[in-house]
């Protein structure tokens, strides 16, 4: 039973590592130039020459998927950073000080939660325009509420522990208590939230770009590839299946990683 529990974690790590290696490789090598069109080889199925086949312009799908992984990792990493930074700030202030600060911040977070995340992202890119940078900002803002909630509840829980109270009684300042005592105790929860939020951003970016509201050409995007593949769903389904499959594997990898970290933490506790 003990062994069984860690299998998902290993699968998660493996998936993330494979995709990460693919991303790093794409920085200096792709089998074909991802933007070169070959009218002779339009929509060809997977073959020895083109491992994943070619798209409607005869571009190599594997090369384009590899290019797209850069965007996925970049957007995931940066939007998680934005979400974590502001979410931590809001959650920490609300959880540590409580009272009216808590009440105001949490009403704000509740209102944001009532908004479907994708709708919020759509509104933001509509107003501030589409493109890589604004997509990152929109997805970052979208992930603030979940970080804020987790950090807040972590702060409230840990604040009540005896050792924190003792430290406070000894005259330790807020900064010291937060960084020395509270932070190490909620680190694993934050890691869980980071991996989940990463996969959420990857999914949302795919959705936004599919709608034409996310990353714009020439920046590569898996979501936009799905949009391009849609008209050919009946004639060459492989294009669609492969591109979506890669998105799913990335999300799955980060979700399993998240579950794994949580299991390890719960075992320790």
Partner 1 sequence: MKYFLYKASTFFATIMFISIIIFFIFQVIPGNPAQIILGIDADEQQVIQLEEKLGLNNPPMERYIDWIKGIFQGDLGDSLKYQTPVIEILQDRIPVTLSLAILSILLTVIIGIPLGILIARTDGKWYSVILSTLTQLGIAIPSFWFGFILILLFAVLLKWFPTFGYVPWSEDFVGAFKSFFLPSLAIAVTNIAVVIRYLRNTILDQSKMDYVRTARVKGLSERSIVYGHVLRNALIPVLTIMGMIIADTIGGSIIIENVFALPGLGNLLIQSITSRDFPLIQSLVMYIAILVVVINFIVDLLYRVVDPRIRLKG
Which residues in this chain contact partner 1 in the complex, by CB under 8 A? 8, 107-108, 110-111, 113-119, 122-124, 126-128, 199, 203, 206-207, 210-213, 226, 230, 233-234, 237, 240-241, 244, 247-249, 251-252, 255-256
| Least distance in angstroms from the C-beta of 261 to partner 1 | 15
Q: Give the H or E element holding residue 127.
A: helix 117-128
In whole angstroms, the minimum distance from the beta carbon of 104 to partner 1 comes to 11
- We find the least distance from the C-beta atom of residue 265 to partner 1, in angstroms, to be 16
In the complex, the smallest distance separating the C-beta of residue 115 from partner 1, rounded to whole angstroms, is: 6
Under 8 Å between Cβ of 264 and 23? no
**CA–CA gap between residue 142 and residue 197 (Å, rounded):** 9
Q: Is the peptide bond before 197 cis (omega within 30 degrees of 0)?
A: no
Could you tell me the two tokens for 151?
Answer: 């950090």
Q: Which is nearer to partner 1, 4 or 175 (CB)?
A: 4
**What separation in angstroms does the CA of 188 have from each of 111, 183, 191, 219?**
27, 10, 5, 34
Distance CA(164)–CA(172), nearest Å, equals: 9
Tell the smallest beta-carbon distance from residue 198 to partner 1 (Å): 12
Neighbours of 131 (CB within 10 A): 14
Which residue's CB is nearer to partner 1, number 158 or number 203?
203
Q: How far is the CB of 1 from partner 1 (least distance, A)?
A: 9
Which pair of tokens denotes residue 149?
Answer: 């909630």
190 φ, ψ to 5°?
A: -70, -40
The torsion angles phi and psi of 203, rounded to 5 degrees, stand at: -65, -45
Nearer to partner 1, 186 or 203 (CB): 203
**What is the CB neighbour count within 10 angstroms for residue 180?**
12
* Residue nearer to partner 1 on the CB measure, 128 or 163: 128
Return the number of the residue (30 or 157) whose C-beta is nearest partner 1.
Answer: 157
User: Closer to partner 1 at the Cβ: 119 or 166?
Assistant: 119
């Amino acid at each position: 039973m003990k062994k069984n529990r860690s299998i998902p974690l290993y699968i998660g790590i493996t998936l993330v590592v494979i995709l990460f290696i693919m991303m790093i490789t794409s920085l200096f090598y792709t089998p074909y130039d991802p933007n070169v069109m070959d009218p002779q080889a339009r929509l060809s199925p997977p073959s020895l020459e083109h491992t994943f086949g070619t798209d409607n312009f005869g571009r190599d799908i594997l090369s384009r998927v590899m290019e797209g992984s850069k965007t996925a990792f970049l957007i995931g990493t940066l939007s998680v950073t934005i979400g974590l930074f502001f979410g931590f700030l809001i959650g920490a202030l609300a959880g540590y000080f409580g009272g009216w600060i808590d009440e105001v911040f949490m009403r704000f977070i509740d209102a944001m939660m009532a908004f479907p995340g994708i709708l919020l992202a759509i509104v933001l890119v509509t107003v501030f325009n589409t493109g890589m940078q604004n997509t990152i900002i929109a997805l970052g803002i979208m992930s603030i509420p979940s970080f804020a909630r987790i950090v807040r509840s972590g702060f409230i829980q840990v604040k009540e522990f005896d050792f924190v109270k003792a430290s406070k009684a000894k005259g330790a300042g807020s900064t010291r208590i937060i960084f020395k005592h509270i932070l190490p105790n909620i680190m694993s929860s934050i890691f869980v939230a980071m991996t989940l939020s990463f996969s959420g951003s990857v999914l949302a970016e795919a959705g936004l770009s599919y709608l034409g509201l996310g990353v714009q050409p020439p920046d590569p995007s898996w979501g936009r590839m799905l949009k391009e593949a849609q008209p050919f769903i009946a004639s060459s389904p492989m294009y669609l299946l492969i591109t979506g499959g890669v998105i799913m594997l990335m999300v799955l990898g980060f979700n399993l990683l998240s579950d794994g970290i949580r299991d390890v933490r719960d075992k320790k506790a």
